[in-house]
């Protein structure tokens, strides 16, 4: 239900545009396809993914000879579900971590303001609820506010945090955090990092150094590099995904702020273009408003 409410705006906007796109038309012809292309692009699905969807619908029109506009919803739903499936986007509904990795190390990347700290706090809360022992690491040492905000979440969720003063070496904080987690026999480590995109070489070096030092304590750490993107920024989110995937190996995505935006289509485009699974979506500011992304529920909510 949170998901339905969270996607409400995207859905309403999309379907009102779609109904305009097919108004007065009974069959899917070139005009309808042109209009549909506009609807998808303006819903932030992204140009490349939109063209892919249009091509697939064209192929169905060519095959079936006649495709009624009344069937367009169903067909779009099938094609979008198919695309999400290709990207290997999860079927999970629960917050889980692999049992064979202890501590499980999650490194979180993303630019300021996208909801990184909030997402970390929400994740910590979900894992703690399952009885897992969580340790946070404040390796965004660039801004004092980032350390303070993470501390606020650590207090709220009541989990330990490892931090140093502003300006200290992020890799040193990350090292201390995994070390402390191992000493406490913790299950999950979540490392916050600074996302200063304006200097890509620095970002790349900083993230690889963080990884390198963590691996001195925990083999193969981090086990997951989660990129947080603000869904309400549409094309900016695409651009950030492009930059971060160049700077480090991103293994999963969290798309936040899907409530209050009509740009929900960004989830479809980003997962398709970057071939990285969307693991979590944010549909509000409360702790329970971070959800495990489930492609079936997503498509269901959208096309209900
Ligand atoms: P950071 O700078 O990336 O760490 O961003 P924050 O975690 O501080 O979040 C920035 C703002 O976005 C805060 O006011 C959050 O409450 C808000 N926020 C984060 N996730 C969501 C979401 O899914 N929905 C909404 N509506 N707000 C969110």
Q: How many whole angstroms separate alpha carbon 248 and alpha carbon 194?
A: 13
Question: Which residue is listed with tokens 């697939």?
Answer: 56
Rounded to the nearest whole angstrom, what is the distance from the C-alpha of residue 185 to the centroid of ligand 1?
A: 30
Q: Has 260 been labeled as part of a binding site?
A: no
The response to whether residue 231 sits with its C-beta less than 6 Å from ligand 1 reads: no
Rounded to the nearest whole angstrom, what is the distance from the C-alpha of residue 284 to the centroid of ligand 1?
A: 8
Rounded to the nearest whole angstrom, what is the distance from the C-alpha of residue 286 to the centroid of ligand 1?
A: 10
CA distance readout (Å), 12 to 50, 195, 263:
19, 33, 11
Which residue among 115, 146, 149, 259 is best mutated to probe the pocket of ligand 1, counting the most ligand atoms within 8 A of its Cβ? 115
Q: ipTM, 2 decimals?
A: 0.98
For 217-264, give the DSSP string.
Answer: TSTT--SEEEEEEEGGGTHHHHHHHHHHHHHS---EEEEE--TT-S-T
Which ligand 1 atom is at minimum distance from the Cα of 110? 3
Contact indicator for 141, 194 with CB cutoff of 8 Å: yes
- pLDDT per position as a tens digit, 208-223: 999 999 999 999 999 9
Q: What is the pLDDT of residue 88?
A: 61
Rounded to the nearest whole angstrom, what is the distance from the C-alpha of residue 287 to the centroid of ligand 1?
A: 11
Contact indicator for 105, 221 with CB cutoff of 8 Å: yes
- pLDDT per position as a tens digit, 38-65: 999 999 999 999 999 999 999 999 998 8
The response to whether residue 140 sits with its C-beta less than 6 Å from ligand 1 reads: no
Question: Which residue is listed with tokens 């929900």?
Answer: 264
The response to whether residue 195 sits with its C-beta less than 6 Å from ligand 1 reads: no
Q: Tell me the H-state helices in the chain.
A: 2-22, 30-42, 47-64, 72-86, 116-129, 144-157, 170-183, 200-214, 235-247, 266-274, 295-303
The number of angstroms, rounded, from the C-alpha of 202 to the middle of its chain's C-alpha atoms is 23
Closest to 250 measured CA to CA, from 108, 51, 59: 108
Closest to 248 measured CA to CA, from 47, 64, 107: 107
Phi then psi dihedrals of residue 107, to 5 deg: -105, 130
Which ligand 1 atom is at minimum distance from the Cα of 146? 4
Closest to 235 measured CA to CA, from 9, 89, 41, 52: 41
The response to whether residue 240 sits with its C-beta less than 6 Å from ligand 1 reads: no
Residue 221 has a CB neighbour count (10 Å cut-off) of: 25
Q: Has 193 been labeled as part of a binding site?
A: yes
Rounded to the nearest whole angstrom, what is the distance from the C-alpha of residue 283 to the centroid of ligand 1?
A: 10
Enclosing H/E stretch for 189:
strand 188-193
Q: Has 113 been labeled as part of a binding site?
A: yes
- pLDDT per position as a tens digit, 152-206: 999 999 999 999 999 999 999 999 999 999 999 999 999 999 988 778 888 999 9
- pLDDT per position as a tens digit, 76-92: 999 999 998 887 656 77
3-state secondary structure at position 46: coil
């Amino acid at each position: 239900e949170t998901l339905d409410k969270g996607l409400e705006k995207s859905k309403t906007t999309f379907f009102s545009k779609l109904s305009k796109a097919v108004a007065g038309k009974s069959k899917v012809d070139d005009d309808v396809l042109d209009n549909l292309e506009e609807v998808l692009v303006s819903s932030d699905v992204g140009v490349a993914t939109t063209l892919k969807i249009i091509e697939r619908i064209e192929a169905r029109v060519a095959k079936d000879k006649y495709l009624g506009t009344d069937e367009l919803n169903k067909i779009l739903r099938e094609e979008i579900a198919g695309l999400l499936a290709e990207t290997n986007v999860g079927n999970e509904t629960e917050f889980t971590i692999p049992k064979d990795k202890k501590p499980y190390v999650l490194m979180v990347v993303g630019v300021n303001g996208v909801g990184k700290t909030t997402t970390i706090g929400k994740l910590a809360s979900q894992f703690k609820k399952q009885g897992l022992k969580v340790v946070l690491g404040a390796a965004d040492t660039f801004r004092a506010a980032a350390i303070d905000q993470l501390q606020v979440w650590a207090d709220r969720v009541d989990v330990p945090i490892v931090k140093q003063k502003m300006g200290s070496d992020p890799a040193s904080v990350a090292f201390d955090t995994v070390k402390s987690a191992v000493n406490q026999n913790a299950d999950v480590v979540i490392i916050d990092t600074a996302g200063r995109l304006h200097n890509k070489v620095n970002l790349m070096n900083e993230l690889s150094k963080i990884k390198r030092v963590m691996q001195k304590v925990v083999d193969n750490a981090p086990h997951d590099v989660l990129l947080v993107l603000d869904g309400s920024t549409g094309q900016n989110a695409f651009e950030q995904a492009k930059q971060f995937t160049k700077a480090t190996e991103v293994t999963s995505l969290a798309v936040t702020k899907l409530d209050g935006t009509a740009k929900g289509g960004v989830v479809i485009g980003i997962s398709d273009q970057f071939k990285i699974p969307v693991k979590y979506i944010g549909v509000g500011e409360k702790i329970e408003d971070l959800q495990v992304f489930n492609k079936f529920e997503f498509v269901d909510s959208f096309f209900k």
